[in-house]
Amino acid sequence: MKHIKAIYPGSFDPPTNGHLDLIERGSKLFDELVVAILQNPEKQPLFSVADRRRMLEAMTADFDNVSVDTFEGLTVDYALRVEATAILRGIRAISDYEYELQMALMNRKLQPGLETVFMLPAEKYSYVSSRLVREVAQLGGSIACLVPELVEQKLREKMDVAHKFEDAEQIAKKTPSEGKSKSRKKKA
């Protein structure tokens, strides 16, 4: 019997419920699915690759045929290395289509034996993206129901650290001038 292995490549910074929905759908369609996190040295991610991997591993622990991995370089090269024959990608709205079509055709040009399979996440996630989740979380909005609880928790921790860092910077900025006024008083 034919065994179909697919990869689901992406940035997953952070992984969302939309990603999880697609992983679940993919796990039913393919015999094996590898969630492959791109290590992109040109991007400054919010979460390290190790953090993203941990989150995705926890999110997918219940799926027997799903694993999580990381890769560098071309997606098609990675797919060949792990002997996958399909690339899974999600399309949420028509706005995703142009970019996804371009990537799929480029990947086909690079490696004609690999098929890109598009799946639609549940409608309730059609507006959810990692970029918006990051932005809303950074500005203090609620991201409940858009990401799994453990991702929400990790985001909250990140924001707390960022706020503490900002507070410390503000204090550090104020301190020298306060120091100056004190030393002026001493001289007088």
Report, as residue numbers or ranges, the catalytic residues: 19, 43, 92, 130
The least CB distance from residue 134 to ligand PNS, in Å, is: 12
Query: How is residue 40 written in tokens?
Result: 């992109």
The least CB distance from residue 121 to ligand PNS, in Å, is: 13
Distances (CA, A) of 152 to 136, 141, 144, 148, 181: 11, 11, 7, 6, 44
Exposure b/e, 61-75, CB count within 10 A at least 16 = b? eebeebebeebeeeb
Nearest CA to 37 out of 58, 15, 18 is that of 15
The least CB distance from residue 60 to ligand PNS, in Å, is: 16
Q: Identify which of residues 102 and 138 has a Cβ nearer to ligand PNS in the complex.
A: 102
Q: Identify which of residues 48 and 170 has a Cβ nearer to ligand PNS in the complex.
A: 48
Nearest CA to 23 out of 43, 11, 9, 13 is that of 9
Q: Identify which of residues 17 and 75 has a Cβ nearer to ligand PNS in the complex.
A: 75
Binding site for ligand PNS (CB under 6 A): 9-11, 38, 74-75, 103, 106-107
Q: Identify which of residues 101 and 161 has a Cβ nearer to ligand PNS in the complex.
A: 101
The least CB distance from residue 76 to ligand PNS, in Å, is: 6
Q: In the bound complex, which residue of the shown chain has the CB atom lying closest to ligand PNS?
A: 10
